Amino acid sequence: GPAAEDTSSAESRSRNSAGAARGTASASGVGNLLGIVRDAAVVVGDDGRVAWTGPAAAAPAADEARDLDGRAVIPGFVDSHAHLVFAGDRAAEFEARMTGRPYTAGGIRTTVAATRAASDDELRANARRLVAEMRRQGTTTVEIKSGYGLDIGGEARALRIARELTPETTFLGAHVVPPGTDPAAYIDLVTGDMLEACAPHARWVDVFCERGAFDGDAARTILRAGAAAGLAPRIHANQLGHGPGIEVACEVGAASADHCTFTSDDDLRNLADSGVVATLLPSIEFSTRQPYPDARRFLDAGVTVAIATDCNPGSGFSSSMPFALALAVREMRMSPAEALRAATAGGAAALRRTDIGWLGVGARADLAVLDAPSYLHLPYRPGVPLVSGTMLGGLWGLE
Ligand code: NIG
Ligand code: FE
């Protein structure tokens, strides 16, 4: 089915039958890439999936219909990279960066200390608040990582809390080596008892492969151990400099290599050949003043590109997929259509999900309604809250 549909339509669902929609005109231009339907209707079935899409005039009858009055409808954003279980913030670190201090992985330890000191309820409330904030900006699926506990109890509790909010949970015990710990001993823990305690609550395993965090050999060991425990690998790669992260991703068959700020042409060929998604995180370049990756190079090399927020208190605290999308267009040379695709279908590919990231028959009815006639307004009107509502599994959320 289509990667996205702009409709200016009605949209609806009731418990016992399908809902339908009708409306007027919509976006023009690159309709073919996105499969845009104008004057469209979306019909949602009892199972929370899309049952029919097409011109409103041809829509089958439904129990309940909602006229969206010319608004564009897009698949809900799939934010495939976020760190939401933490306490405190690092606004002072951001301030220092904006006046010339570089970002380093070392700041993670500040958040680890605050997170360890917080109660379960505090962590849960903070994470819920951030998920709600994302939802108001059109995100209907979010991946959530652990990584600010860095001991068995702290990592397992982060994943238990994350699990309450999303099925896309990621064990990131290998974020940094905690203070006062021998690196080799920590890798043994992460691949041993900590993994055992965390695997039941996680779908994915991740590692921060970077200078100051874990090297290529450690990353390989940790991802392989995670895979042996039933977790599928993904990786933080090449964020602060060129490193082995992308090679490791391709070797272990990771779903996604994330950041990819510094890449060689060989890296891009490797990603394309291995079918590893490159998840670009432009809000991080914004907040660290690093150079943006050039998404054109990735797309021209045939790499599947996703965009995500990487929302975290350190390297970038934006929860906004519209902001990431606008940066991707303005700073990474993606067309608006490519960026929308990367923020929806791309994120779904990074999570190996085929039920989300698109709107067509059989897709989960996860969508966002924009207070705009076209998705183009997302990058065209940056910083403007354009999401007027979302539907999740066929149920209207925020209105
Ligand atoms: O994706 N790179 C590692 N993890 C986060 C940063 C975490 C932090 O600074 O607290 C990231 O950028
Ligand atoms: Fe991250």
Indicate which atom in ligand 1 lies nearest the CA of residue 103. 9
pLDDT on residue 104 = 86
pLDDT tens string 143-185: 999 999 999 999 999 999 999 999 999 999 999 999 999 999 9
pLDDT of residue 5 exceeding 90? no
Average pLDDT rounded to a whole number, residues 249-262: 98
Is the entire prediction scored with pTM above 0.80? Answer: yes
Q: Using a 6 Å cutoff on CB, does residue 284 contact ligand 1?
A: yes
CA distances from 190 to 102, 143, 152 (A): 28, 20, 8
- Nearest Cα residue to 258 out of 231, 242, 276, 275: 276
User: Which parts are annotated binding residues?
Assistant: 81, 83, 90, 148, 175, 236, 239, 310, 312, 314-315
- Closest ligand 1 atom number to CA of residue 108: 10
How many Å apart are CA 3 and CA 120, to the nearest integer?
38
242 vs 210: CA distance, rounded Å: 9
Which residues define the annotated binding site for Zn(2+)?
81, 83, 236, 310
Tokens of 155: 């990592």
Which of 144, 206, 208 maximizes ligand 1 atoms within 8 Å of its Cβ, making it the mutation to test the pocket? 208
Confidence category of residue 26, pLDDT binned at 50, 70, 90: very low
Using an 8 Å Cβ cutoff, are 347 and 76 in contact? no
The complex's ipTM works out to 0.93
Annotated binding site for N-formimidoyl-L-glutamate: 148, 312, 314
* Cβ of 245 below 6 Å from ligand 1: no
Give the pLDDT confidence of 225-250 residue by residue, as tens digits: 999 999 999 999 999 999 999 999 99
Site to substitute for ligand 1 among 89, 146, 148, 175, most atoms within 8 A of C-beta = 175
Mean pLDDT of the chain: 92
Q: Summarize pLDDT for 141-152 with one digit per residue, the tens.
A: 999 999 999 999
CA 159, 115, 286, 105 torsion-angle sign: negative
CA distances from 321 to 27, 108, 332, 379 (A): 20, 23, 15, 11
- In the chain the domains, ranked by start, together with CATH numbers, are 11-76+357-396 (2.30.40.10), 87-350 (3.20.20.140)
Distance CA 331, CA 341 (A): 17
Pairing status of strand 232-233 against strand 204-209: parallel
Range of weakest confidence among 34-38, 90-94, 245-249, 304-308: 34-38
* Ligand 2 geometric centre to CA of 81 (Å): 6
Query: Does 258 contact ligand 1 (Cβ within 6 A)?
Result: no
The predicted structure's pLDDT at residue 105: 83
pLDDT of residue 398: 58
Pocket-testing residue among 79, 80, 83, ligand 1, by greatest number of atoms within 8 A of Cβ: 83
Residue 140 has pLDDT above 90, yes or no: yes
Sign of the CA dihedral with 368 first, then 309, 327, and 216 last: negative
Q: Which pLDDT belongs to residue 32?
A: 55
* Helices 245-252 and 265-274, packing angle to 10 deg: 20
The answer to whether residue 21 scores a pLDDT higher than 70 is no
Q: What distance in Å separates the CA atoms of residue 338 and residue 323, rounded to the nearest whole number?
A: 15
